[in-house]
Structure 1
Amino acid sequence: MDKDPLQILVLDRNRHNLTLLTQFLEQQGYQVLPALCLEDVASALNSMTKINLALIDISGFDSSIWEVCQQLCEQEIPFLVISARHHAAIQQASIAHGALGLLNKPIALREFLQLIRELLR
């Protein structure tokens, strides 16, 4: 009996980046729930779909992004924050809101994939 594919919620305001990341993860055998906006994330969280991991690109969002992170934490969905900038304040806010870690762009795909595999074990 095959196991259900693991679901990864991906939030990215940049449609091109969202498409690339979705295609990459699907090629690795994951099922992806792409989200372009906070409302898409809210819909995914309110659905009956089990989300195994979330990847949250905070670029282009205001401070309301942290409310989404808090919701993920409350629903016990592990997540990583992705940011174009590396600032201690972003890292601190990410961890304070329940993120497992912060990834900075550009992302090295091999290491990124290894991290995802480890988190989904």
Structure 2
Amino acid sequence: MTDEDSAPVILAVDRNQRNLELLSQFLKQQGYQVLAKISLEEVGEVTSIPSTIKLALIDISGFDASVWGLCQRLREQGIPFLVISPRQYAAIQQASIAHGALGLLNKPLMMREFLQLIRDLLKGSE
């Protein structure tokens, strides 16, 4: 088994291809394996099989209300996740928590704090 094989797997979901690439690149540089998905259909395929996903990062920008169904599935499968949003709205925060999110992050992300949060969450899931 290589180091990459033992690295935690993070599911990253974002409608914006460039943002998804940047997030994936950043996480890979930090030693994580990344499943980058741009559509809810792609995520459905990944989450329909037993997986080793340790954490999901869901950027809700550009998705309609069906994104909450994905969040519900992640919760039911015991996959911890964070919601990323461009704005701080009480309704988004309430919906995120109601659908099982561990928390809501607002853009722009402060990468040092973001990375520490990921480490802390993954440490708690071991």
Task: With the length of structure 1 as denominator, give the TM-score of the two structures.
Answer: 0.96
The corresponding residue for 1:59 is: 61
Task: Summarize the alignment of residues 1-121 of structure 1 with structure 2, pairs less than 5 Å apart.
Answer: 4-121=6-123
Find the aligned partners of 1:110 and 1:56 in 2 and give their Cα distance. 19
C-alpha displacement of 1:49:
2.8
Report the aligned-residue RMSD: 1.2
Count of paired positions: 121
Gap regions ≥5 residues in structure 1: none
Gap regions ≥5 residues in structure 2: none
C-alpha displacement of 1:48:
3.8
Q: Give the fraction of aligned pairs with identical amino acids, expressed as a percent.
A: 65
Q: Give the secondary-structure state (helix, strand or coil) at the position aligned to 1:115.
A: helix
- Between stretches 3-12 and 69-78, larger displacement belongs to 3-12
C-alpha displacement of 1:46:
1.8
Find the aligned partners of 1:86 and 1:26 in 2 and give their Cα distance. 28
C-alpha displacement of 1:112:
0.2
Find the aligned partners of 1:44 and 1:35 in 2 and give their Cα distance. 9
C-alpha displacement of 1:64:
0.3
C-alpha displacement of 1:109:
0.2
Ranges of 4+ aligned residues in structure 1 off by more than 3 Å: none
Find the aligned partners of 1:24 and 1:82 in 2 and give their Cα distance. 16
Q: Aligned partner of 1:29: which letter?
A: G
